[in-house]
Amino acid sequence: MEILRKNYVTISLHRPESLLEVNWLRQPSDKEFKQAYKFSLEVAAQEQLRYYLSDNSMGINLAMALQHWVSALGKDIIGSLNLDRYARVIPSDAFQEIVSYKMFEFLSQQQQTSLEFRVFYNKAEAMRWLQHGTRQFA
């Protein structure tokens, strides 16, 4: 079920699969990114979802200040999240992959978490990883 549609992002909630899916459609402004990302984490916390998929295959870039904001937000909210796995789909770009893992590494150092995080170049592979041990997504 689509719960947010903007010209830069769609956010879908799949309750039976305990999945939140965020699809970035274009480079958002900092304000747009903050609103959408914060909303997505709030929904994940409120619904006590286990899986989170961020599809950034179109290649949005986060400025350094925004990367710090994401890390700070994650640090503040991770205690209320029930996520088991977080998958991020990116274009084949070594820099984006490094930044993704560095941000997760920082968050992991700040808060003890059992959250599994992986970066993928293909959405279907990300979905397979999220599904591991669960029933098939619709």
> What's the mean pLDDT when you consider all of the chain?
82
pLDDT tens per residue, range 51-92: 999 999 988 887 778 877 887 887 777 778 888 998 989 887
Three-state secondary structure call for residue 1? coil
pTM over 0.95: no
Picking from 118, 20, 73, the residue whose alpha carbon sits closest to that of residue 10 is 20
Positive or negative, the Cα torsion across 81, 85, 91, 94?
positive
Tokens of 6: 């903007």
